[in-house]
Amino acid sequence: MIRYLIERMVQKGLSLLVGKRCARGQLDEEEEANKKKVPADVMDGQFAVLAVEGKETKRFVLELDYLAEPEFLELLDRAREEYGFRQQGALSVPCRPQELEKIQESRSRRNSLST
User: Which residue type sits at 51?
Assistant: A
Residue 86 has pLDDT above 50, yes or no: yes
User: Which residue type sits at 76?
Assistant: L
Q: In this predicted model, what pLDDT tens digit does every residue of 36-84 receive, in sequence order?
A: 677 788 899 999 999 999 999 999 999 999 999 999 999 999 989 988 8
Where would I find the H helices in 1-115? 2-11, 29-35, 70-83, 97-114
Q: Could you list the residue range(s) of the whole structural domain that residue 99 is in?
A: 2-114
Distant-in-sequence contacts of 21-27, Cβ < 8 A, 24+ apart: none
| Candidate from 32-36, 40-44, 89-93, 105-109 with smallest mean pLDDT | 32-36
The total of structural domains in the chain comes to: 1
Angular region, 95: left φ>0, alpha ψ -120 to 50, beta rest: beta
Best CA proximity match to 59, nearest among 86, 93, 103, 88: 93
